[in-house]
């Protein structure tokens, strides 16, 4: 009985699988040339944060040396 149920489940999966594979195979190909990605949006904020962090570190080091 167990073998029969297992066989029927595997048979059903094998019979249904091609319907799912067709949707995977039928997808259109990707565009031939990749679109350029703009990096300017967050680059200014990243640069400003780096400058602020560096200024803070310099100020802290100079105040520790003067004490």
Tell me the per-residue pLDDT of 5-18, one tens digit each, with 9 for 90 and over.
Answer: 999 999 988 888 77
Domain ranges of the chain: 1-27
Contacts of 1 (CB under 8 A, 6+ apart): none
pLDDT in tens, 25-47: 666 777 777 777 776 777 888 89
CA angle 8–13–14, rounded 5-degree value: 95
Cβ density class 3-23: b for 16+ within 10 Å, e for less: eeeeeeeeeeeeeeeeeeeee
């Amino acid at each position: 009985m167990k073998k029969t149920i297992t066989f029927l489940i595997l048979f059903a999966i094998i019979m249904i699988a091609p319907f799912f594979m067709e949707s995977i195979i039928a997808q259109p190909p990707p565009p031939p040339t990749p679109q350029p990605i703009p990096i300017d949006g967050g680059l200014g904020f990243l640069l400003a944060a780096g400058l602020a962090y560096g200024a803070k570190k310099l100020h802290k080091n100079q105040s520790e040396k003067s004490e």
